[in-house]
Chains A and B, each alone.
Chain A
Amino acid sequence: MTDFATVTPEEYSKVCDFLYRRTGMLFTEAKRYYVQRRVSERMAFLKIASFPTYYAYLRSDVDREIEQFINALTVNETYFYREEHQLRCLSSDLLNERVRSKARGAALRIWSVPCATGEEPYSIAMWLLENWPEVDVQDVEIVGSDIDTACLTAAREGEFGQRALMRLSPGLIGKYFVPTGESRWRIVEDLRGSVQFTSANLTDGAQMRAHGRFDVVFCRNVLIYFDDASRRLAAENLFECLVPGGFICLGHTESMSRISPLFEVRRFADAIVYQRPSEGPSEGTHG
């Protein structure tokens, strides 16, 4: 069993530099302890005794080791109102900007992909009902999509445990959920019925195109784990699924700088988001 004390400062630096280059995540001196612990834990779990062997394993992303490592480090749970700052940005800035560009009567379309078991699209729905004044006069369509059909089935059921609701006030829970048993709650029928769940693979252009175009896309904590080629393909597909001027939000540890140069960077009070340019590239003919 490798004791974490044997990961030297130089070796720690190698892991941090590699992760920074690959994902954009920066691990400062303050995080050293946590990174060292994770390296030792992963080495123990994989029964790898030497750091150079583990480092090579991590670098070549065998069995999605980068994702395993980062998940262990950042505690990637899904729950309602996760990354609330992006929801605030949505209701404070993004939707208002989109409304100004839309034809009267046209619905705003919001996509959560991947949606996993539905916490994110339901959160978006609840948040808008609670925090966006225009929700009474503006049609909003929310779609949640995932590659995992078991997740979609669960999402349509809309039943969640206590941990998923941990960020919600008793008032919100009372308003949007009904208890269904021992520490289980189900989204009220109206809200369940207002979110559409579909199957989608981010790297399948045809499947993605079939969903039409959206004003805002939430694509969190998945792109950064794809390989180079898949990342760029998914980014292209997402670009195509945005209306010009539409926005895409990534996970808080992710950055388009490691994914694709297609999108413009926009800074709002609550979040950095990425935007498909409003006017396309020069529409002139070429020959």
Chain B
Amino acid sequence: MPLVRRPHAPAEAPAVPHSLTEGTAEQRWSAVRAAAERPDGVPRLAAALAQESDPRVREAIFNGLARAATAESAAAVVPYVRSEDAALRTAALDALRAMPAASGPHLPGLLADPDPDVRLLSCELLRNMPESDANRLLIGLLDRETEKNVAAAAIEVLAEIGRSEALPVLARAAQRFADDPFLAFSIKLAADRIGRS
């Protein structure tokens, strides 16, 4: 029968890692993956990220930085949350989401950022954080927030992870944003979800 079986001969080892910034995208991808397996990879990955425009190679760099999950690798990713490129923002947030402990120290700063887009996107990262910290940060944000979309993002996360200590701030937000039907809808749903928590 033509089901063939080859002896398991390991495929030849890849060539010595290429530069992270030269060669074809395929070569850079392999080089990035090799660098990500090394303990000294973070600075090289961070530097390569600044110059890389191919989505697959960028993805591999972000994955490597997320796996490293150090203060340094998180710091390398954070600035990309501000990018004007939606795909780059998505990749950065996915990377931060995959390293909650390393991202944690950055969150207070991100949630207090003058740019509402940054505050909004950062709320999402609190889903994976320890509940008490996440509640505390979201309560702090929501109480001082004036931008409707940012408030909505915070309430969205509270609907999943909110605890009873968040109920007062939700009630105050309901007053403040009484004119907005979506926020009224969201606050009610979040409060219902918090329920007996």
A complexed with B: yes
| Chain A contacts for B195, CB-based, 8 A | 8, 10-11
Is A280 a contact partner of B1 (Cβ separation < 8 A)? no
Q: Is A278 an interface residue (CB 8 A)?
A: no
Q: Which residue of A lies closest to B56 (CB)?
A: A281
Given A107-B4, A135-B2, A194-B1, also A283-B26 (CB < 8 A): yes
Q: Verify if A285 is at the interface (C-beta below 8 Å from B).
A: yes
CA gap between A10 and B54 in the complex, in Å? 43
Are the CB atoms of A141 and B5 closer together than 8 Å? yes
Contact string, A137-180, partner B, CB cutoff 8 A, digits 1/0? 11111100000000000000000000000000000000000000
Of the residues A13, A137, A194, A227, contact of B5 by C-beta under 8 Å:
A194
A52 touching B26 by the CB < 8 A rule?
A: no
State the CA gap A236–B59 with chains docked (Å). 9
Residue A212 at the chain B interface, CB threshold 8 Å: yes
Contacts of A209 in B (CB 8 A): 11, 14
Task: Determine whether the beta carbon of A232 is less than 8 Å from that of B98.
Answer: yes
The reply to whether A233 and B63 contact each other, CB–CB distance below 8 Å, is yes
Q: Are B160 and A18 in contact (CB under 8 A)?
A: yes
Q: A286 touching B192 by the CB < 8 A rule?
A: no
Contact in complex: A286, B52 (CB < 8 Å):
yes
Q: Is the beta-carbon distance between A139 and B57 smaller than 8 angstroms?
A: no
Given contacts A56-B131, A286-B28, contact A10 B193 (CB under 8 A): yes
A284 within 8 A of B: yes
Residues of B within 8 A of A21 (CB): 160
For residue A182, CB closer than 8 A to chain B, the reply is no
- B33 and A205 form a contact (CB under 8 A): yes
In-complex Cβ contact of B63 among A17, A196, A232, A240 (8 A): A232
Nearest-CB distance from A232 to chain B (Å)?
5
Of the candidates B21, B22, B98, the one having the most CB atoms from chain A within 10 angstroms of its own CB is: B98
Could you say which residues of chain A place their CB within 8 Å of the CB of B160?
14, 17-18, 21, 59
Known: A281-B54, A281-B57. A141 touches B24 (CB 8 A): no
B51 part of interface (Cβ distance < 8 Å): yes
- Alpha-carbon distance between A284 and B23 when the two chains are bound, in angstroms: 8
Of A59, A107, A211, A233, most buried by chain B (CB within 10 Å of CB) is: A233
Contact A210-B63, Cβ < 8 Å, known A142-B3, A286-B52: no
Which residues of A are found within 8 Å of B22, using beta-carbon distances?
285-287
Report if B150 contacts A (CB, 8 A).
Answer: no
Please tell me if A72 contacts chain B, counting CB pairs below 8 Å: no
A140 to chain B, nearest CB (A): 5
Q: Let me know if A219 is at the binding interface, CB within 8 A.
A: no
Q: Of all chain A residues, which has the CB nearest B100? A: A228
Do A280 and B25 touch (CB < 8 A)?
yes
Name the A residues within 8 Å of B196 (CB-CB): 8, 51-52
Alpha-carbon distance between A76 and B31 when the two chains are bound, in angstroms = 38
List which B9-56 residues lie within 8 A (CB) of chain A: 10-11, 14, 21-26, 28-29, 33, 37, 51-56
Q: How far is the CB of B45 from chain A (nearest CB, A)?
A: 14
Q: Which residues of B contact A283 (CB under 8 A)?
A: 24-26
Cβ-based interface call for A28 (8 A): no
Give the docked Cα–Cα distance between A205 and B196 (Å): 45
Measured CB to CB, the closest approach of chain B to A8, in angstroms, equals 7
CA distance A146 to B53 in the complex (A): 36
Indicate if A251 sits at the interface (CB-CB under 8 A). Answer: no
Residue B110, interface by CB 8 Å: no
Q: Are B24 and A190 touching (Cβ within 8 A)?
A: no
- With a cutoff of 8 Å between Cβ atoms, the chain B residues found around residue A272 in the complex are none
Q: Quick check: B99 and A229 within 8 Å, CB to CB? A: yes
How many whole Å from A157's CB to the nearest CB in chain B? 16
B residues within 8 A CB of A51?
A: 196
Most buried by B among A191, A284, A286: A286
Complex: A210 Cα to B22 Cα, angstroms = 25
B195 and chain A: residue at smallest CB distance: A10
A and B contact pairs by CB, cutoff 8 A, 8 listed: A17-B160, A52-B196, A198-B8, A280-B56, A281-B26, A283-B24, A286-B21, A286-B25
- Interface residue ranges, A against B (CB under 8 Å): 8, 10-11, 13-14, 17-18, 21, 51-52, 56, 59, 107, 125, 128-129, 135-142, 190-191, 193-196, 198, 205, 209-213, 227-229, 232-233, 236, 240, 261-262, 280-287
Closest 8 CB pairs of A and B: A210-B10, A228-B98, A194-B3, A281-B25, A229-B98, A212-B11, A283-B24, A52-B197
